[in-house]
Structure 1
Amino acid sequence: MTSPTVLLIEDQEWTARSIETILRHAEFAVFKTYTGRQGLEVARKVDPDLVLVDRHLPDMSGGDVIKELKQLRSIGATTPIAIITGGPVTQAEKLDLLRVGAWEIFVSPFDPEELSLRVNTWANAKQEAARLEEESLVDSLTGAYNFDGLSRRVREIVAESRRYERPMACIVLGEPLPGENGDRNKPSENDVDRRVVDTLREVCRVSDAVGRVRDREFLVVAPSTDDSGAAVLVKRILEALDASVAEIPIRAGVFSLKRSPKEPLDITDLLGPATAALRRAQQGDDRVSFQSFQAN
């Protein structure tokens, strides 16, 4: 595992330095901020394994910071958040902080060993939970997204498309229909699937979602990609696959949207039309079949 990342939101310089020293000595990566707003901005970018928040910050209370942290995509239910304070805390105040999501309240002066051990336990648990979650979203054979992983990534892409009124495209790739290319069991299905995914990763952008839907059927969802962009992308993909998987003439179905409709879309709304286009390509003479949708 990589070094756990701790986001420290503390306006008192001496306290911040003391905690930072303790955590760095225990080999934590520490991001230090001094206001609630700064902390929230950093949390959006670094995906911390643990957050330590001062109870009283110049711009907002620690409890309010926790409430806003809980709304961030980078802060999940498994991300520990603890309050740090230099003053006494009543039982009612403690319960209020626990209700909004604090895992613990540390009162200064801190015992360095106790703080280090607790933070280490929480951060390691967070990293393990993240690892297990990632494994549940990734195809074990190829390392690409599985259906669940694609579903989550598609929700993010659709939300961005709707927010900024941007186009998007969905490309489904598959082998020829049985009988068109001889014995489909040769070469090894696993070997082909791995080579296809490796090729897609080389050709596609980092922002594109690449996944395996089923054996020898793959999906690419490309944000900010219009009809012409989709045509260029699928051409580039097929040319690369002709080199890496030359023994199988991969077919493609493309479904593009000039912009996302007002109604929410999920992966099936994209996969259905793109798969239908793929089936047309598999049954016809063309390697690629296109379908476009114009949202109202």
Structure 2
Amino acid sequence: MSTVLKASGTRSDTTDALPQIADPGKISPKDARALSKLFFDQLQVLEEGTHEYQYARNTLIEMNLSLVQFAAKRYRNRGDGQMEDIIQVGTIGLIKAIDRFELSREVEFTSFAIPYIVGEIKRFFRDTTWSVHVPRRLQELRVTLAKTKEDLSTKLSREPTVAELSAHLDLTEEEVIDGLIAANGYNAGSIDVPLGGTEQGPSDSKTSYADITGDRDPGMEMVENLHALAPLLGSLSERDREIIAMRFGQERTQSQIGEHLGISQMHVSRLLARVLAKLREGMLTQN
């Protein structure tokens, strides 16, 4: 580890606790685990937006990129030539995990981060591949049918029939029909298309599928959470409620809250951590 560290210089007491790493990407996974705890500890007390905060956050990202590589390996045999994209979306998952991780969870960061990374990768495949999951055999048949239909259309000067596709590919008509139906799952149609129309040709109707399609109200979960949170906030002390209001209602920084209350930023950070842990525990207990 010492080969990639350099002197920390003459920064503040907070940043003196952080080693200055010349190339975080060269840190071994074992050393990254140990150093990550130190950087996460300091990230809790550093002021957001400062140079020191960004250094700690960026170093955590670079030190833990090996987790993205590890998670991406399981997708290397997909044959889609998308490994660069997989690494990019996996890194987004890593960043989300870093921003949401708390040492108080008493869980290793690696165990916390992998689900975030894999989740982003799976979301990428969900959004960029088949809209509806179909068997691999039918996915491959779709490609074959598309090419065959194009070739036969050129020769026949018209769209080939199912029987003609069946004879050309030496498949049963049932297999061809299955492949044609499965092809409809590759792209999902837009719900903004007018009723009776298509994405290529509009109809005279002013009503779209979106107008008659029900959806879950995104505000319902928020209402439920606020309803459960209200009595928990009421049980807090007046100072704790004031701190919560300033941090999340007025969006003040920890330093601004400290100045208002006449306490240090570090003290504010500890108070916030304690109050949020209490609220989180209360919410989980209710659920």
User: What TM-score do the two structures reach when normalised by structure 2?
Assistant: 0.24
Identify, as 1 or 2, the structure richer in strand: 1
Identify, as 1 or 2, the structure richer in helix: 2
Higher relative contact order (CA 8 A, sep 6+): 1
